[in-house]
Amino acid sequence: MSVSRPQALFTASLLGDSQLKVARKTEIAVPNVQDRKGRIKEIFKKVELSVSSYDTAWVAKVASPDSPQNPCFPQCLNWLLENQLYDGSWSLPRRNDLLIKDSMMSTLASILALKRWEIGEEQVNKGLNFMGSNLGAIVDQKQHSPTGFNIIFPGMIENAKDLGLKLPLNSNIVDKMFRERDLELERIFKCNSKGSKAYLAYVSEGLSTQLYDSNEIKKYRRKNGSILNSPATTAALLSQCHDAEGLEYLRSVLDIFDNGVPTIYPVDVYIRLRMVDRLEKMGIANHFPSEIEQVLDETYRCWLQKDEEIFLDAETCALAFRLLTTNGYEVSSDALAEFNEEECFFSSSGHNLKDIYSVLELYKASEIKTSPDEIVLDTLHSWTSSFLKQGLSNGLIHEEKCRKEVDNALKFPYHAQLERLESRRNIECYNADDIRLLKASYRCSNIDNRDFLQLAAEDYNFYQAIHQKELKVLERWIKEARLDTLEFTREKVTYGYFLIAAHLRDPELSDARTSWTKNVVLITMVDDRVDVGGRREELDNIIDLLEKWDDNSAKEYCSEEVEILYGEIQKMIIELGEIAFRRQGRNVTPHLIELWLTLLRGMAKEHDWVRDEATPTLDEYMAHAHYTIGVSTTVLMTEYFLGHKLSEEIVRSAEYNNIFKHSANNCRLLNDIRTFKREAEEGKLNSVLLCKHHGGFTEEKATREVENMVDRNERDILNLMFKKKGSIVPKACKDILFHTSRVGHILYSKNDGFSSPVEMVSAVKAVIYEPIELPSDTV
C-alpha cells in the first residue's frame, strides 16, 4: 500500500480566476457614519416598543376596584378612541398583508372594550365593518396567526354574545373555529406538559368561565406582578378576581407607556441581546465595543442571579447562552436542559412564529459545544435540527423571512461560516420595517432600524473597495514574479485572497491579507510541482536552499522554475520579516524560515512513504499532515501582522500550538473524508483509509471515526477559542485559527453551501467584487 502526499489546504479551490470576469469597482467614498453611529448608541440606552391595541383593550376592560361601574384605566379607553386606523381596524400602521388575523383579533378586543363601557359607538361600527370585510382571513392558512388565536378569538366571540353584540361573522366560519378550538384544548389537556400548561396560562383570556382557573394562572406570576409579562393576560385575571400585584404591574407599565401598553413587558434583556446579535451578524459590532460590553456584562450578572427574564423564556435563554459563551463568559449549558424534549417544549399544535424562532435560537445555541460531554447541547441539536428540516420540507414554516433564516442556519452551520458572507446574508435579509408577532404584532426600533441597515451596507462596500485594490496589487505580483509562467501550477491568487478577506477586513490588516495570500499561492505551486509534476528533485533543491539561507555563494538551482519559486519564497520571507520586525520589535525571520522548512520536510517525508510503499500509523500520518496541509506556514506567519505583540513565549506555548494543531488537523481530516474514495482507487491513503486498514473497520465505520475526530477537534477549538481565564494568546490569533478550520469546511465539506463551482464563484464575487445595493426605499 502507498500513501499519497496530502494536498495543501488551499489547493482544492474549485475554479481558476478566469471564471471571475466581472466588473470591478475601484473607487468608493468613505462613508460618513458618525450620525448613524450616534443614533445607534442612543438606542442602547432605552428599549422602544410599540403600543399594542390588543393588550390596551384588555387593560381598558378592567373595572376600578373601588368603583366597579367605572373603568380602572380610562386613559386606555381614550387611547382606543384616538388610535383607530382609517379602515376601521386597530393594529399597527403599515401592517403586513399577511397580518389580517392580527388586525381582526386586536379589532375585536378593542370593540369589546368600548362596548363594555358603552362608549365609542361610531368606532365600534367602523370596527365591525372592517371585520365583515375581512372574514376570509380568519380561515386563510397563509395568514400569520397571533399566538393563541385559535383559543382567544373564539373566546372573544362568546364574550361578544354575552354583551349582546352582533358580529358580522359567517356561522360556518364560527362553527369551524369553535371545533378547532375544542380540538386544540383537547390536545393541550391531553399533553399536560409543562409547556402546554404555561401556554394555556398565557392565552387564558380566551378561556371560558368554566375552564378559567385563577389559582392555576397565578402560578405563572412573575416577580413584577404580571402573568408571564403579558398585560392582556394580567388584565384578564383582574377581570376575574381582585389581584393587587397584577394591578400594580399594569399601573407601572402605564407609567412608562402613558395611555397604552405593549404586548409584552418587560423584555429589555431579550431586546438588548437581540440588538447585539444584529450588530454582530451585520458586521458592525466593532463600532460599539463599550455599549456591547455593557449589555453582555449586565446579562452575565442577570444570568448569575438566575433572572427569570432570561430563564423563563427559551429564546432569551438560548440567545444569552450563545452570546455570552462566544464572547468569553463562562456559563453552563445546563440552563437549556429544560428545553431538551420537543414534546415538552411546544405549547400548541400550530407552532406559531414565536415557537419557530425559539427553536431556531435553541438550534444555534446547540452548535456552541466546547467539551466532549455536552449532553444537553447534543440532545438539543438533535431535535431542533430535525424539527427545522421537517418544517422546511413540509411547509410548516411558510413565512418567507423565517424560512430564509432557517434555511441559512441549516445550510451554513456555525463551524462553516465565513464572516463577511454571513454579514452580507444578514444585511440582504434585513428588514428595517420588520413586525414581530406574539398575541399581537409589535415593532421595536432597537432591533429593526434603518440605521443598522445603512451603516452595515456602507461599511461592507467601503471595505470591499479596499480589497479590490489590494487584489489588483497581488495580481500584478503574480505576473511580475513570472509565477504565471510555471508548468504544473494552479495560480489561485483570487481564491487565496478571498479566503482571508472573508475574515480580515480592516485596512490596517493589509499586511496580514498579503502574507496569507502569498503563502497560499506559493505553497500551492510547490505542492503542484511535486504532486502533479512529480518533481521531487525540485523539492529537495528548495529545502537545501532554505537550509543554506545565509550562504549566498552556495545557491544552485536545478531548474529555472526552482529559481523563480525559491526567489519568491525568499523575497516574501525577507519582506514579511522586515515588516514583522517593525510590528513585533524582534527578529522573527528565523521563525518564518523554520515554518517553511517544516512544511517542505513534511512533504518530502510523505513523498518517501509513497516511494517506499509504506503504511504509516494514523498518528505518524497526522504528525506530518497538520504541517503539510499548509496551515502552519500560512496562518502562523500571518499572525505576526494582526496588530498584537507575539512573544516567543506565546508562539511556543502549549495553548498556541494546541489551537493550531486542532485547526490544522480539522482541515486535513475534512479533506480526507471528501477524497478517500478517489485516493483509494489511485492506490493512495489518507486518514479514512488508514483507519480502515489499521482498525479493521468497514469503510462506513472508518468514515464515522474520522468524522468523530473532526467533531472532537471542533469542540476543543471552541473551548480554546472562548477561554479567557489563563489565556495568553490574543483573541485575534485565536480567531484566525478558528477561521482556518471554517475554511476547511468550506473547501472540503459536501454538506455546506460551497460544494459547487457556481456557489464558490458567487461567494468570491459577493465578498470582493459586487457591492451591496439597498432598495431605494431604505436609503
Three-class SS of 404-420: HHHHHHHHCCHHHCCHH
Instruction: Give the end-to-end CA distance of the chain in Å, rounded to a whole number.
Output: 63
| DSSP tag of 488 | T
| Residue 116 CA to its chain's centroid (Å) | 47
Please return the burial class of 258, using the count of CB atoms within 10 Å of its CB with bins 0-12, 13-18 and 19+: exposed
Residue 85: HSE in the Cβ half-sphere, 13 Å Cα cutoff: 17
> Which residue ranges of the chain lie beneath pLDDT 70?
1-32, 343-353, 488-491, 532-534, 553-554, 683, 750-756, 777-779
Write the single-letter amino acid at 265.
Y
Is there a shared CATH topology between the 279-448 domain and the 481-748 domain?
Answer: no
What is the distance between the alpha carbons of residues 316 and 361, in angstroms, rounded to a whole number? 8
Contact call for residues 420 and 282 (beta carbons, < 8 A):
no
As a whole-number percent, the residues of the chain with pLDDT over 90 amount to: 78
In this prediction, residue 771 carries a pLDDT of 98
Write the single-letter amino acid at 512.
A
In this prediction, residue 778 carries a pLDDT of 65
Q: Which helix (H) or strand (E) holds 135?
A: none
| DSSP tag of 29 | P
What is the distance between the alpha carbons of residues 61 and 70, in angstroms, rounded to a whole number? 10
Write the single-letter amino acid at 95.
R
What is the distance between the alpha carbons of residues 340 and 200, in angstroms, rounded to a whole number? 20
Going by C-beta distance under 8 Å and a sequence separation of 6 or more, which residues neighbour residue 391? 351, 356, 397, 406
Can you tell me whether residue 396 is helix, strand or coil? coil
Query: Domain residue spans in the chain?
Result: 53-257, 279-448, 481-748
Residue 169: phi and psi, rounded to 5, are -115, 140
In this prediction, residue 747 carries a pLDDT of 86
What is the distance between the alpha carbons of residues 645 and 580, in angstroms, rounded to a whole number? 10
Instruction: Kindly state the cell numbers that stand for 582.
Output: 517593525
Going by C-beta distance under 8 Å and a sequence separation of 6 or more, which residues neighbour residue 438? 146, 147, 263, 264, 354
Contact call for residues 19 and 761 (beta carbons, < 8 A):
yes
What is the distance between the alpha carbons of residues 620 and 460, in angstroms, rounded to a whole number? 44
- Torsion sign across C-alpha atoms 342, 343, 344, 349: positive
- Cis-peptide, bond into residue 266, ω within 30° of zero: yes
In this prediction, residue 583 carries a pLDDT of 96
* E strand segments, 447-525: none
Nearest to 434 by CA among 423, 419, 425, 444: 444
What is the distance between the alpha carbons of residues 224 and 269, in angstroms, rounded to a whole number? 15
Contact call for residues 215 and 184 (beta carbons, < 8 A):
no
What is the distance between the alpha carbons of residues 119 and 131, in angstroms, rounded to a whole number? 19
Nearest to 351 by CA among 609, 148, 215: 148
| DSSP tag of 240 | H
CATH of 279-448, picked from 2.60.120.260, 1.50.10.130, 3.30.300.100, 1.10.10.350, is 1.50.10.130
Query: What are the pLDDT digits (tens) for 102-141?
Result: 999 999 999 999 999 999 999 999 999 999 999 999 989 8
CA angle in degrees (0–180, nearest 5) for 131-137-139: 120
Instruction: Kindly state the cell numbers that stand for 667.
Output: 482541515
CATH of 53-257, picked from 1.20.120.1200, 3.10.129.10, 3.30.1340.30, 1.50.10.160, is 1.50.10.160
R_g of the chain, CA atoms, integer Å: 31
Going by C-beta distance under 8 Å and a sequence separation of 6 or more, which residues neighbour residue 494? 17, 20, 471, 475, 764, 768
Give the fold, CATH level 3, of 481-748.
Farnesyl Diphosphate Synthase (1.10.600)
Contact call for residues 69 and 113 (beta carbons, < 8 A):
no
Nearest to 778 by CA among 422, 400, 433: 433
Beta bridge partners of 227: 221, 230
Nearest to 174 by CA among 161, 157, 187: 157
Helices (H), 332-449: 342-345, 353-366, 375-393, 400-411, 419-429
What is the distance between the alpha carbons of residues 674 and 694, in angstroms, rounded to a whole number? 20
Please return the burial class of 373, using the count of CB atoms within 10 Å of its CB with bins 0-12, 13-18 and 19+: exposed
In this prediction, residue 535 carries a pLDDT of 77
What is the CB neighbour count within 10 angstroms for residue 165? 16
Nearest to 569 by CA among 577, 558, 579, 559: 577
Helices (H), 728-771: 731-748, 757-764
